Structure 1
Amino acid sequence: MLRARIPALVIVAVAPLLAGCVGDEPTVALLVADGSDASSRAVDVARFTDRVEATCDECRVQVFDAEGDAATQKSQARQAEATSADVVVVVPVDTDGLDTLTGSDLPVVSLGELVPGSDRFVGLAGGALPTQRGTDLAAAREVLLGDEEAMTYVPTGAMSERAADVAVAFLADTPAADAEVVDGVESWLYESQEVTVDTLTSVLVGQGVVTLDDLCSGETAKRCVRLGLR
């Protein structure tokens, strides 16, 4: 991959960035691949929405859930355009199936996986998102019990907030901070982490991904005591 660094020209802080901008109610359309998939690693819809609303006074987020169907997501992309969305953030079902969306004048931010033709991209430095059974909490409890040696932690919350910042920067017509150019696309790339029983608390609890109470409840309670976690 060809990478070049873009200097940080503006930092989006958690304070109102837009008191008013394009139209009376600037709209960010969030196209989600499958909102019912508990193992999804690409987006935290609540954190994305909260971030947009914290940084843009008048903005609203319109969520479209494709429920894992590429044809549905194509239709939802057209609907987002028709309902006057000002920027689209897409977690794609099929990265090659949204050429109509990226061929329009509507700014498109890819999240998780890069949709060809996107204006900007937020994802992992290592490429595609790793698969996982269930939630981070479920995976962490399996590691704690010894059912699995390790799990891969993806910073979904941080990626979601970054995608929100990038979308709001489009609305404000300002550069977004700390981007690097990868294959011609402004990108923000994050690192996944392998988490073992020795790093469960420092990584997951320390970063607020899970709580110690949730990690050490029920069948894992005795194991936590044995390991000195409680």
Structure 2
Amino acid sequence: MLRARLLTCALLTLAPLLAGCDGDEPTIALLVADASDSSSRSVDVERFTDRVEATCDECVVTVYDAEGAAETQRSQARQAEARNSDVVVVVPVDPDDLASLTGYELPVVSLGELVPGSDRYVGLEGGGLASQAGTDLEAAREVLLGDEESMTYVPTRAMSEQAADVAVALLAGTPVTDAQDVDGVDSWLYEQQDVTIDGLTSVLVGQGVVTLDELCSGSAEKRCARLGLR
């Protein structure tokens, strides 16, 4: 396993503006569909880079944000290859539109949705991600206040950390473990959960997705007191 120090590049929006990440360090390119979309829960960039830091101190993580544009993401994939990335982890804008990415020599890890021809895949059992307006905290507060009966919780942090582990394993050439087969691809699948008011603290607070203070702040304070949450 590679050990030394982590060099993490800042979030890069447009491929032509990329600079400052060249070097001899092992490089993981993280291609994000749209970092500004709070309803997209395929990746937690901070958790991903933190996990890489914990397991591969020499690695460089370069993050490319397609801002929801498939054409931009295709360009960024070519840019990642041109900059000698060693592994690409991609949250695709359009999985089928990135099929050419897997024709490159570098390994490709799909995150959230499976890009055809990927070497590894981290996603959800049963396919795609359930859509949700706003963040997990906003959705949880709607359930708490009775505006919604339930919310769908996607274990984004665990998926992001698993994708980081898979990418580092590819860099180090270590064997994969605990993988399932999905269309011939070594895969790690997670469950999304419908969370009602009874599970807000055990699931979301318990797993560190939100804090009790965040959940019960402002207009929700009295509601939490009535429910005995505080």
TM-score normalized by the length of structure 2:
0.90
Match of 1:53 in 2: 53
TM-score normalized by the length of structure 1:
0.90
Match of 2:123 in 1: 123
Match of 1:14 in 2: none
Unaligned 5+ segments in structure 1 are: 1-16
Match of 2:228 in 1: 228
Match of 2:209 in 1: 209
Shift of 1:169: 0.3
RMSD over aligned Cα atoms = 1.0
Deviations 1:27-69 (A, max 9, x none): 0000000001112110000000010111002001000000000
1:14-163 pair list within 5 angstroms = 17-19=1-3, 24-163=24-163
Deviations 1:97-145 (A, max 9, x none): 1122111111000000000010110000121000000000000000000
Q: Give the whole-Å Cα distance in 1 for the aligned partners of 2:138 and 2:93.
A: 24
In structure 2, give the amino acid aligned to 1:88.
Answer: V
Match of 2:177 in 1: 177
**Contact 1:47–1:160, Cα closer than 8 Å, also in 2:** yes
Q: Give the whole-Å Cα distance in 2 for the aligned partners of 1:100 and 1:202.
A: 43
In structure 2, give the amino acid aligned to 1:98.
Answer: L
**Contact 2:70–2:97, Cα closer than 8 Å, also in 1:** yes
Shift of 1:18: 1.1
**Contact 1:24–1:58, Cα closer than 8 Å, also in 2:** no
**Contact 1:165–1:176, Cα closer than 8 Å, also in 2:** no
Shift of 1:183: 1.5
Q: Give the whole-Å Cα distance in 1 for the aligned partners of 2:49 and 2:228.
A: 37
Q: Give the whole-Å Cα distance in 2 for the aligned partners of 1:64 and 1:208.
A: 27
Match of 2:219 in 1: 219
Q: Give the whole-Å Cα distance in 2 for the aligned partners of 1:148 and 1:19.
A: 47
Match of 1:187 in 2: 187
Structure (1/2) with the larger helix percentage = 2
In structure 2, give the amino acid aligned to 1:136.
Answer: D
Higher relative contact order (CA 8 A, sep 6+): 1
Deviations 1:163-210 (A, max 9, x none): 000000000011122111121010000001110001100000000000
SS at match of 2:121: strand
Query: Where does structure 1 differ by over 3 angstroms across 4 or more consecutive aligned residues?
Result: none
Q: Give the whole-Å Cα distance in 1 for the aligned partners of 2:86 and 2:163.
A: 14
Q: Give the whole-Å Cα distance in 1 for the aligned partners of 2:199 and 2:101.
A: 41
SS at match of 1:98: helix
SS at match of 2:197: coil
Match of 1:6 in 2: none
Unaligned 5+ segments in structure 2 are: 5-22
Match of 1:4 in 2: none
